[in-house]
Amino acid sequence: MTTMLLDPVSAATRRQLLVGTGLLATLAACGAAPPPAPPAAQTGTAEGDFGPVELPTDPQRVVAGYDTDTDVALVLGLTLVGAPGARGSATLPFPEYQPADRLTDVERIATFLPEPNFEAIAALAPDAILDGAFGVQERYDTLRSIAPTLSYSTANYTNWRDGLLLAGQAFGRVTQATDFIAAYEERAAELRARVEQRFPNRSAAVFYSEEAGGLVADTSANQTLAAMVDCGFVLDPAIVSSDDVGKSFSQENFGDLAALDVIVLSIDINFEAGETTIERTTRIYDAAKASPLWAGLPAVAAGRVFDAPAEIGFPSPLTATASLDFVENTLLA
């Protein structure tokens, strides 16, 4: 897949080099100064998942390894030439929360679903690759054989601020990163006052469906939930885990969710509907909602059950602001 980058210099290229060398010698013999060498590209260094990596501070052809990497590139003002559609797909549109007007010239490539297309990535001739969602050595080795790659695992449920600051440092864009974070914190603080007025105890959780009609409370690192906490919601440790694995609740244990003031259901893409459009279905929650114990929950009885797109649960700067939009336009509507 990357042989095009490793092939020996072609005969034609050798001839061009020889001609160029002869031309410089002729100019020197005539007393003419050779043309000035182009300035060396400026680089920065960041500590990635697999050690330090040197990256150009002004890259012109950046490829994003996952949706969340696209978000980082957009916030930092990097020039994207390739990025995946939703959930790392080449066929699905870009995620709905991303600014479509800034992606019109970006080629969609498969970086995860159904499998990464490394040949397509190499064909874009990137000068830098952002790959924050995986932290897998084999994937990293393949990508860095194409271009300098920053692997930093920010989408594996870590704080998006850390990933943004790391990338900002690597690409000489710390100011853009800190300004974005400051704007986020200011808006979250403004929403916090409204949340504290609207919701009595503010206990909240985000769930996804489980087989047999059960529910799993996602961890505290879910971005939608993390943004809700930034806006004043609180977590019940008996329901929301701070570990890597969410807590399961079968239907007979739905009564354990009675302390929740707000319930958010994560609505994923319906991949059975096709690979070219983003469609969602709530049918996966029908069995849970049919339970008498579900109907008796205070949050359900009060109409405080809300649906959120699954993609904004993955940590990134733009899913963070999309989650603030969810708080303002859905929870506080």
Same domain, 82 and 200: no
Angle (CA) 43 103 133, round 5°? 60
- pTM to 2 decimals? 0.85
Instruction: Please give the mean pLDDT across all residues of the chain.
Output: 87
DSSP 165: H
Collect the ranges in the chain with pLDDT lower than 50: 1-32, 37-38, 157
Whole-number pLDDT of residue 14: 31
SS3 call for 146: coil
Same domain, 218 and 266: yes
Same domain, 167 and 287: no
Going from the C-alpha of 268 to that of each of 86, 132, 186, 197, 278, the distances in angstroms are 11, 21, 29, 30, 9
Instruction: State the residue for tokens 């405080």.
Output: 304
Whole-number pLDDT of residue 275: 64
The domain boundary, picked from 138, 172, 206, lies at 172
- CB of 289 closer than 8 Å to CB of 305: no
What Rg, from alpha-carbon coordinates, does the chain have? Answer: 24
In a domain, residue 224? The reply is yes
In a domain, residue 211? The reply is yes
Residue 289, domain CATH: 3.40.50.1980
Whole-number pLDDT of residue 9: 32
Whole-number pLDDT of residue 78: 98
Boundaries of domain holding 221: 195-331
The DSSP code sequence of 290-309 is TSHHHHTSHHHHTT-EEEEE
Same domain, 221 and 146: no
DSSP 280: B
**What are the beta bridge partners of residue 217?**
207, 247
Q: How many domains does the chain have?
A: 2
In a domain, residue 231? The reply is yes
